[in-house]
């Protein structure tokens, strides 16, 4: 738009502010964008009014989107995007809030444009602008969601698998989830660390909670067993389900040098025997 | 072979490998594979996806549910634009690796699937096509 010609949108936002605001709020109520279940009418009135003021200031400042006035518009939209998300609005609701302004502006724009050519040009620039601002609220919502996902991923990495003591000289490491991540290294090292600290003779690695055992997982297990052996501890791998056993055979992974058991209970029994313990049912006189 | 359903996934990071495994598991369940076969297919997918990532420098996975009169199958296609495999027979040999793994992944995947074909052109990339029928 040539700078000599004042934008009709600027005039509408200045001269018809009251009418536009009223029509916009009515449209929001009628169109379902208002969500009275989530937000008080007074708050909606405030948000709509503030947005119109900021938009008017920005349109007056010019079409270049990098000025301070446009920055204020975007900041406001980012603010309501997150506050609305907290209130339970979906990103679509928030974008609809901005988009619903089009209808209210349309009539006024037509009235003040005069001829059809001018109106077409004004309509195009208005609709481009509103779309841009609505998309901005969506991108803010997406960014917020991505931050949450990134934080959850970090929390997952921090989930430490504890090394538990089952008996004197017997440790157990119940592994859960994906074993090919950076987590595996940490978990395996913590097992070796505990073997040193406790002087354990037997460590049971239980993989009941590991959905897939491929060659990388097998390699991690073999490495850990070998390292533990060098430190004088024997490992037993438990939780080998039938389907995992079949797969390991097809993969050609050699676990013949490693003691394996189907269940943690079986592994524990073997560990007790290895460490010279015997478990039996107490006879009548011994029972507490 | 009529394709009933196709999914494409990027293989660019270790978490993508997890995503491939999860998708393959879901599709294998839908195709009606039993638990042992599901585990075989998922394990093969894990090996091939990791090869795409580690040796192919990343690429994509395409998972197809196949139906033919009387049988259902799952097809997995892994493609990359990496350095390629100069000697495919050697790469399939158990214990052979150019990396730090056990050298069992590719050969293991071939044993886990009914049919596994590798096309590779040095400097252009690799395409692994694996099918298992129910």
Q: SS3 helix, strand, coil % of chain B, rounded to 5?
A: 35, 35, 30
Q: Tell me which residue range forms the domain holding B83.
A: 3-133
Chains A & B: contacts with CB separation below 8 Å: 70
The helix (run of H) or strand (run of E) holding residue A172 is strand A170-176
Closest C-alpha among B114, B124, B112, B129 to residue B77: B129
Q: Specify burial of residue A32 (Cβ count, 10 A radius: 0-12, 13-18, 19+).
A: exposed
Q: What is the DSSP string of A60-83?
A: HH-S-TTSHHHHHHHHHHHHHHHH
Q: Which residues of B touch A253 (CB under 8 A)?
A: 102, 104, 108
Domains and CATH numbers, chain A: 8-155 (1.10.490.130), 164-276 (3.30.750.24)
Query: Best residue in B97, B102, B109 to probe A by mutation, most A CBs within 10 Å?
Result: B102
Please report the pLDDT score of residue A32 as a whole number: 72
Work out the number of other CB atoms within 10 angstroms of the CB of residue A76.
Answer: 17
Q: Nearest-CA distance from A52 to chain B in Å?
A: 43
Round to whole Å and give the CA distance between B96 and B94.
Answer: 6
The CATH number assigned to the domain holding B37 equals: 3.30.565.10
Q: Nearest-CA distance from A78 to chain B in Å?
A: 30
Return the residue of B nearest to A243 by Cα: B36
* Range list of H helices, chain A: 8-15, 17-31, 41-61, 68-87, 91-99, 101-113, 116-158, 182-198, 215-230, 242-251, 264-274
Query: Best residue in B21, B24, B35, B39 to probe A by mutation, most A CBs within 10 Å?
Result: B39
Choose the closest CB to B112 out of A211, A219, A250.
Answer: A250
Among chain A, residues having any CB pair with chain B shorter than 8 Å are: 153, 178, 180-181, 211-216, 218-219, 242-244, 246-247, 250-253
With 90 as the cut, is the pLDDT of residue B7 above it?
A: yes
- Report yes or no: B104 at the A interface, CB cutoff 8 Å: yes
Work out the number of other CB atoms within 10 angstroms of the CB of residue A94.
Answer: 23
pLDDT tens digits, chain A, 288 residues: what are they?
444 456 888 889 888 999 999 999 998 888 777 788 888 888 999 999 999 999 999 988 876 777 888 999 999 999 999 888 888 888 998 999 999 999 999 988 998 888 889 999 989 989 999 999 999 999 998 988 888 888 887 777 666 678 899 999 999 999 888 776 667 777 888 899 999 999 999 999 999 988 889 998 898 899 899 999 999 999 999 999 999 999 999 999 998 889 999 999 999 999 999 999 887 887 766 665
Round to whole Å and give the CA distance between A127 and A18.
Answer: 20
* Range list of H helices, B5-84: 14-30, 35-54
At B76 the three-state DSSP class reads strand
- Report yes or no: B23 at the A interface, CB cutoff 8 Å: no
Strands B3-11 and A259-261, by their bridges, are unpaired
Per the structure, how many domains does chain B have?
Answer: 1
Choose the closest CB to B101 out of A153, A219, A243.
Answer: A219
For residue range A209-268, what is the model confidence (pLDDT) as tens digits?
A: 888 899 988 988 998 999 999 999 999 999 999 999 999 999 999 988 899 999 999 999
Q: pTM for this one?
A: 0.67
- Report yes or no: B3 at the A interface, CB cutoff 8 Å: no
* ipTM score of complex: 0.84
Distances in whole angstroms, Cα of residue A37 to Cα of each of A78, A89, A91, B79: 22, 10, 16, 50
Query: Best residue in A247, A255, A258 to probe B by mutation, most B CBs within 10 Å?
Result: A247
Task: Say if residues B76 and B116 touch (Cβ distance below 8 Å).
Answer: no
b/e sequence B86-121, b meaning 16+ C-beta within 10 Å: eeeeebbebeebeeebbbbbbbbbbbbbeebebebe
């Amino acid at each position: 738009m040539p700078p000599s010609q004042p934008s009709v949108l600027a005039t509408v936002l200045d001269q018809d502010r009251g009418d536009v605001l009223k029509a916009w709020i009515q449209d929001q109520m009628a169109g379902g964008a208002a969500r009275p279940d989530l937000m008080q009418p007074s708050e909606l009135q405030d948000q709509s009014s503030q947005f119109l003021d900021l938009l008017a200031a920005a349109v007056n400042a010019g079409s270049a989107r990098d000025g301070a006035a446009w920055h204020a518009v975007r900041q406001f939209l980012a603010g309501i995007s997150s506050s609305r998300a907290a209130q339970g609005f979906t990103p679509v609701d928030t974008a609809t809030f901005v988009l619903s302004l089009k209808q209210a502006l349309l009539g006024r724009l037509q009235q003040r444009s005069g001829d059809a050519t001018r109106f077409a040009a004004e309509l195009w620039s208005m609709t481009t602008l509103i779309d841009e601002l609505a998309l901005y609220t969506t991108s803010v919502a997406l960014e917020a969601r991505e931050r949450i996902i990134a934080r959850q991923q970090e929390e997952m990495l921090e989930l430490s698998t504890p090394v538990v003591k089952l008996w004197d000289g017997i440790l157990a490491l119940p592994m859960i989830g994906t074993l090919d991540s950076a987590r595996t290294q940490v978990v395996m090292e913590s097992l070796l660390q505990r073997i040193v600290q406790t002087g354990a003779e037997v460590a049971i690695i239980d993989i009941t909670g590991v959905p897939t055992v491929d060659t990388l997982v097998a390699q991690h297990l073999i490495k850990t067993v070998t390292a533990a052996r060098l430190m004088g501890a024997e490992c037993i791998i438990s939780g080998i389900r039938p389907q995992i056993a079949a797969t390991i055979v097809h993969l050609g992974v050699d676990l013949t040098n490693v003691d394996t058991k189907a269940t943690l209970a079986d592994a524990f029994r073997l560990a007790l025997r290895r460490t010279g313990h015997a478990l039996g049912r107490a006879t009548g006189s011994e029972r507490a | 072979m009529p394709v009933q359903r196709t999914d494409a996934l990027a293989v660019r990071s270790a978490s993508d490998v997890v995503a491939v495994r999860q998708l393959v598991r879901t599709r294998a369940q839908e195709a009606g594979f039993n638990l042992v076969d599901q585990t075989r297919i998922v394990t093969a997918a894990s090996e091939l996806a990791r090869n795409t990532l580690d040796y192919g420098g990343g690429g994509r996975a395409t998972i197809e549910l196949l139906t033919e009169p009387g049988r259902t199958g799952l097809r997995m296609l892994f493609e990359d634009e990496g350095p390629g495999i100069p000697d495919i027979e050697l790469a399939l040999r158990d214990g052979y690796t150019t990396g730090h793994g056990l050298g069992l992944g590719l050969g293991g995947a071939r044993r886990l699937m009914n049919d596994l074909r590798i096309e590779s052109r040095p400097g252009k990339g690799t395409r692994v096509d694996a099918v298992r029928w129910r």
